[in-house]
Amino acid sequence: MPVFYRYFLPFLTLLLLTQSIDLQAQKDRNPDEYEVPEALQQLIEAIVEEGSGDGDNFAFNDLAEKFRIYERNPLNLNKASVADLEEFFLLNDVQISGLVAYRAQFGDLVAKEELQAVPGFDLQTIRAILPYITVSGNLDDYRVPLGQMLTEGDNELFVSYRRLLEEQRGYKEGEFEDPFLGSPFRLYTRYQRRYEDRLSMGFTAEKDEGEEFFTGSNKQGFDFYSAHIFLNKYSAFLKSLAIGDYQIGMGQGLIAKAGFGYGKSVEVMDIRRTGRALRPQRSANEFDFFRGGAATLGLTENTDFTAFYSTRRRDANILRDDFIDSLNIDFPDPEAGFSSFQITGLHRFASEIEDENAIRVQTYGGSLKQSFGTGHIAFNAVRHQFGSDFRRNLRTYNQFEFNSSNLLNLSVDYAYIWRNFHFFGETAYSDNGSVATLNGLLVGLDRRVDLAILHRHYPRDFHSLNARPFGETTAMGGRNESGLYLGLEVRPSRNWKFQAYYDAWKHPWLRSTIDAPSDGNEAFAQITYIIKRKLTVYLRGRLENKARNVRSLNKNLIYNQQRANLRLQISNKVSKSLELRNRFEVSRFRIDNPAFDEPLVSVNFLDGESITSDVPGLETTGFVLYQDIIWKPVGSPWSATARYALFDTDDFNSRIYAYENDLLYTFSVPAYFYRGSRAYLNLRFKGIRNVTLEGRIAQTWLAGRNANTDFAQFGSGRTEIDGRTRTEVKVQAKVRF
């Protein structure tokens, strides 16, 4: 690749960022030009970095949809209730309390600029929420007739196509006895009819890469179908009604996923789960939803009752004869039990298709919530029943995990505000007698200083199938973890913000990757400088220590694993039409020498590569440098975003994640590792009335595994690509009528 493009071009654009360019006031956005708020971009990156999944498979569609609704129907800050503000997502509890107190003392806001006087509101927050709020007009009441919602609603139809240009091994004839059976493209379509945020009805259909289409196991067409009818804010009595596919949130997520929040992020104060109990399921997420009916009823002005029932089939690894014999269990039918759930939603080859819809799951429960002036208390219950027994392949580390055909969870959650103190928490019970608890405190120490404290205790034998509480890793599901989190946010002036947290935790029992009880800690700090509508610069550091199994001299040893990242990002609005973003990030991964003097001779990395060393411990490093160009010319039907990135890491362990702009309602957070470059280009065209056309091409080029070898390869097994490039193309059309 020419030296100019690899090295000179990124630094040339970096020089442009240092120029002093005046900006005129930003015009109101076109609501069809949806942009992902930068705060949300950073949060998504943090979720991926914490290990909650890979960026391409995250289902943030519902959150993106929420901000689209706010762009068309801004939230009125003068009339919004506490529940409305919590649902808004971009405000934390301290800011919500500050706004409510300000309205009570001084009355309604006269203009958006007045937010600068509200306690807890900094320039960065105000900038993030401006496209989605208003301070004029009236908050919608509960008297909109259903007929009006149906006749005055908007219709949207999405069709999206994606595929890799390079051939993967799973599609090649003779490579595998169990190859991919379908074609190598992904097809997604979604129809939705919506009236503001009050009525949503529609369907979603998806075929993943490698899945059959109108043939084989999918003679009905798409591999996945989802449909919903969701009524919201209909009356003081019927607050929400869901028919079809929906999501449930309770408390702080100890027995049911609650709100949009996954753990630690740059928003250090955003540690409390908030939001309404019911939400429609609009995404192509194939495992994390309920199917049936649910409703939230306002029994009195301050008392809400939510009830739900769901029955659906889920993918699972069914027990087979050889596995049953190894457990010495006598089942008359091999399908009378299953060992685990499958959550990928992929059905590309025979063994994946065997697990498709293998187990029927019934889930039902409810929540009774009593609100009062300064908080609430709620009582929650969830029961799961399976069509056959859950029989894990027992090992030492998982012997305390759930193993049965039914499960009952009960919990109590609360929130209470006293002066500047915000108390919240949840305590949950599973029917084996185990009790888990999470309790937190948010404090506004000063107009410019906020503090967050959260303690959690999740026993090793706590059972909850839909748990997603605050924790070190969501994969544990509120189990086998105790910890203390401290967060601090300081806003010394209008242009500066400092955010930091420290989290320490213990795992009192073994885990799948650690052969002993272990502990860990993580420290994070970020300082941000912002000039309204023009420039944002932040410097971020993150250091994490945790235990890890390492194979050494043919036995597992417990080593300390340390991961460190340092990032500098500069975003500059050069003009109304052009924004430039630069990022430089370095990473270091280290495995320390154990207590005794034994050299580390072999490390099995996550990508399967083995590296040897003749010195105690091992250290790998890496960096990523990229240039983003965001071009949205005023008055033109065309807009574009592009990136060119260089990366060089020693291995997968020193990988670096970076959020990428993608097509509408789509998020991508790939991991950059080994040595090479990556570029993408997104184009959007809105020259046809009520039609948006989009296209994307992204390519990763590998120079080699590291500086010492030119061997390059993408993926492994059926997804392996034999070559130095991986090229993905996407096209999408949205029609509004």
Distance CA 236, CA 274 (A): 20
Q: Which of 100, 122, 141 is the last residue of a domain?
A: 141
98 with 133, same domain? yes
For residues 212 and 26, the model is more confident at 212
Q: How confident is the model at residue 262 (pLDDT cuts 50, 70, 90)?
A: low
The pLDDT score that the predictor gives to residue 331 is 44
Of 42, 119, 82, the C-alpha closest to 449 is: 119
Which of 11-20, 130-139, 539-548: highest mean pLDDT?
539-548
181 with 209, same domain? yes
Q: Which of 113, 141, 169 is the last residue of a domain?
A: 141
For residues 348 and 533, the model is more confident at 348
Distance CA 113, CA 530 (A): 16
- Amino acid identity at 671: A
150 with 228, same domain? yes
Residue 559's SS3 state is: strand
For strands 535-552 and 518-531, give the pairing.
Answer: antiparallel
Buried b (16+ CB within 10 A) or exposed e, 537-574: bbebebbbbbbbbbebeeeebbbbbbbbbebebbbbbb
User: What is the DSSP track for 76-113?
Assistant: ETTT--HHHHHHH-SS-HHHHHHHHHHHHHH-S-SSGG
Of 287, 464, 409, the C-alpha closest to 358 is: 287
187 with 128, same domain? no
Distance CA 308, CA 282 (A): 18
- Using an 8 Å Cβ cutoff, are 538 and 545 in contact? no
Does 210 map to a domain?
Answer: yes
- Lookup result for tokens 């706010």: 70
197 with 130, same domain? no
612 pLDDT higher than 50:
no
- Amino acid identity at 641: T
Half-sphere exposure of 253 (CA within 13 A, CB side): 24
For residues 252 and 559, the model is more confident at 252
200 pLDDT higher than 50:
yes
Q: Which of 170, 197, 232 is the last residue of a domain?
A: 232
The pLDDT score that the predictor gives to residue 704 is 80
Distance CA 630, CA 409 (A): 48
Does 124 map to a domain?
Answer: yes
Of 473, 498, 456, the C-alpha closest to 264 is: 473
Distances in Å between the alpha carbon of 497 and those of 97, 150, 422, 455?
A: 20, 45, 22, 25
The pLDDT score that the predictor gives to residue 38 is 66
22 pLDDT higher than 70:
no
78 with 116, same domain? yes
60 pLDDT higher than 60:
no
The pLDDT score that the predictor gives to residue 474 is 63
Does 673 map to a domain?
Answer: no
User: What is the DSSP track for 209-255?
Assistant: TT--SSBTTBTTSSSEEEEEEEEES--SSEEEEEEEEEEE--TTSSS
496 pLDDT higher than 80:
yes
Q: How confident is the model at residue 283 (pLDDT cuts 50, 70, 90)?
A: confident
305 pLDDT higher than 80:
yes
Half-sphere exposure of 56 (CA within 13 A, CB side): 9
Distance CA 562, CA 105 (A): 49
For residues 312 and 419, the model is more confident at 312
Residue 700's SS3 state is: strand
Mean pLDDT of 710-720: 86
Residue 210 buriedness (CB in 10 A; 0-12 / 13-18 / 19+): buried
Q: Which of 12-26, 688-702, 722-736 has the lowest mean pLDDT?
A: 12-26
Residue 474's SS3 state is: helix
| pLDDT tens track for 441-460 | 999 998 899 999 999 999 99
157 with 86, same domain? no
219 pLDDT higher than 60:
yes
Does 303 map to a domain?
Answer: no
The pLDDT score that the predictor gives to residue 335 is 53
150 with 205, same domain? yes
DSSP secondary structure code for residue 65 in this structure = H
Mean pLDDT of 49-57: 49
Structure-token pair, residue 635: 């008055």
| pLDDT tens track for 113-171 | 888 888 888 877 888 888 889 987 655 555 788 888 888 888 999 999 999 999 999 99
- What is the rounded average pLDDT for all residues in the chain? 84
The pLDDT score that the predictor gives to residue 185 is 96
The pLDDT score that the predictor gives to residue 55 is 40
What are phi and psi for residue 691, nearest 5 degrees?
Answer: -125, 135
Structure-token pair, residue 54: 């890979």
Q: How confident is the model at residue 595 (pLDDT cuts 50, 70, 90)?
A: very low
Structure-token pair, residue 308: 């739900």
166 with 200, same domain? yes
- Lookup result for tokens 């947290």: 501
Number of domains in the chain: 2
| pLDDT tens track for 381-404 | 999 999 888 888 888 889 999 988
The pLDDT score that the predictor gives to residue 63 is 64
602 pLDDT higher than 50:
no
The pLDDT score that the predictor gives to residue 554 is 63
The pLDDT score that the predictor gives to residue 532 is 76
585 pLDDT higher than 70:
yes
The pLDDT score that the predictor gives to residue 633 is 92
Q: Where are the beta strands (DSSP E) in 373-508?
A: 375-386, 389-390, 406-418, 421-430, 435-446, 449-458, 481-493, 496-507
Structure-token pair, residue 70: 């706010």
How remote is the C-alpha of 666 from its chain's centroid? 12
221 with 162, same domain? yes
Residue 189 lies in domain: 144-232
Which of 56-70, 245-259, 292-306, 382-396: highest mean pLDDT?
292-306
CATH of the domain at 105: 1.10.150
13 pLDDT higher than 80:
no
427 pLDDT higher than 50:
yes
Residue 600's SS3 state is: coil
| pTM of the predicted model as reported, rounded to 2 decimal places | 0.86
148 with 213, same domain? yes
Q: How confident is the model at residue 320 (pLDDT cuts 50, 70, 90)?
A: low
Does 213 map to a domain?
Answer: yes
158 with 112, same domain? no
User: What is the DSSP track for 608-672?
Assistant: S-EE--SSSSEEEEEEEEEEEEEE--TT-SEEEEEEEEEEEESSGGG-EE--B--STT--B-PEE
Q: What's the chain's Rg over C-alpha atoms?
A: 26
Of 735, 733, 713, 736, the C-alpha closest to 168 is: 713
Q: Where are the alpha helices (DSSP H) in 61-194?
A: 61-72, 82-88, 93-106, 123-129, 146-152
